[in-house]
Amino acid sequence: MGIYRQQRQALMELDKPLFCIAHRGGSQRYENTLRAIQHALDLGVDAIEIDVWNVRGELLVFHDRRLAFAPFQDALLVQQDPQLLRHTPLPCGEPIPTLLEVMELVGDRALLNIELKGPGCVKSVSNQIEEFVQYQQGNYESYLISSFDHVQLHKLSQRLPEVKRGALFAGIPLDYAACCEQLDAYSLHACIGFLRQGLIDDASARGLKTWVYTVNHEEDMGHLAAMGVDGVFTDFPEKVLALNEEFRQRHPKVEGSDF
């Protein structure tokens, strides 16, 4: 093995296993669909991340605020008839799922990270989780709700404190992870493009998990593990799982992290 190849291999090795979160269900082509989520579950991921909008009272799983496919012509998602959306296939051929369908599929096989994308989600999402736990023998520990909208997260902490919360950041706050304490957050979700050791260390000192999005390259995974990051959102969960397995083979006595 040449020197460059040895150096690259070293960069790809993990200092510890990373919590593996399938970003938008874990498939770029089939993102936020039941097909993507089923594939990620079959791989054995630790968590599934999805995006949820309140569309006229219906909780739909979709990422963008506009619909960039026929027949909608860049129309705003929240202004559409939810039943029309449900019966119009995505470009990949899959339907837009509801939050309930995703919850039924995931069950307790992985943590479900529900990201609130638009306004007015707290009451509907809280009700959906409460009903599912009550009538389908679910468990509040199976869910984590995240958002860039920290106002909604604060409301959620008051309405449904049993469910973990993750504070999403697209930059580096002046006071690092301080606002997470006001939210009584479980985790800080940081952008890989805006990440500093100080932010990771501050989150850890406050008892928070640090999860980073969106991490698709093995070298980044190795670098983040060395920085002390706990988990990564990825479009390629098989890469994270493979590196985790390599770590466990090198360190067979090290127990996996408890999340």
Confidence bin at 28 (pLDDT 50/70/90): confident
Q: In the prediction, which pLDDT does 255 show?
A: 63
| Spatial distance between the Cα atoms of 9 and 133, rounded to a whole number of angstroms | 44
6: buried, middle or exposed (CB in 10 Å: 19+, 13-18, 0-12)?
Answer: exposed
Backbone angles phi, psi at 166, to 5 degrees: -125, 125
The half-sphere exposure of 120 on its side-chain side, counting CA atoms within 13 A, is: 9
**CB 59, CB 98: distance < 8 Å:** yes
Q: In the prediction, which pLDDT does 69 show?
A: 93
Beta strands in 125-252 (DSSP E): 143-147, 164-168, 187-191, 209-213, 231-234
DSSP 122-144: HHHHHHHHHHHHHHS---GGGEE
Q: What 3-state DSSP class applies to 27?
A: coil
Give 256's DSSP letter: P
Confidence bin at 11 (pLDDT 50/70/90): low
pLDDT digits (tens, 9 = 90+) for 147-187: 999 999 999 999 999 999 999 999 999 999 999 999 999 99
Q: Which two tokens stand for residue 242?
A: 């493979």
| Spatial distance between the Cα atoms of 71 and 87, rounded to a whole number of angstroms | 12
pLDDT digits (tens, 9 = 90+) for 34-85: 999 999 999 999 999 999 999 999 999 999 999 999 999 899 999 999 999 9
Mean local confidence (pLDDT), 3-30: 81
Give the dihedral of Cα atoms 248, 252, 258, 259; nearest 10 deg: 10
DSSP 55-107: ETTEEEE-S-SEE-STTTTTEEGGGS-HHHHHTS--TTSPPPPBHHHHHHHHT
Question: Which residues, 6 or more positions from 47, have their beta carbon under 8 angstroms from its beta carbon?
Answer: 19, 20, 21, 22, 110, 111, 112, 113, 144, 231, 259
Distance of CA 128 to the CA centre of its chain: 18
Backbone angles phi, psi at 54, to 5 degrees: -95, 105
Confidence bin at 12 (pLDDT 50/70/90): confident
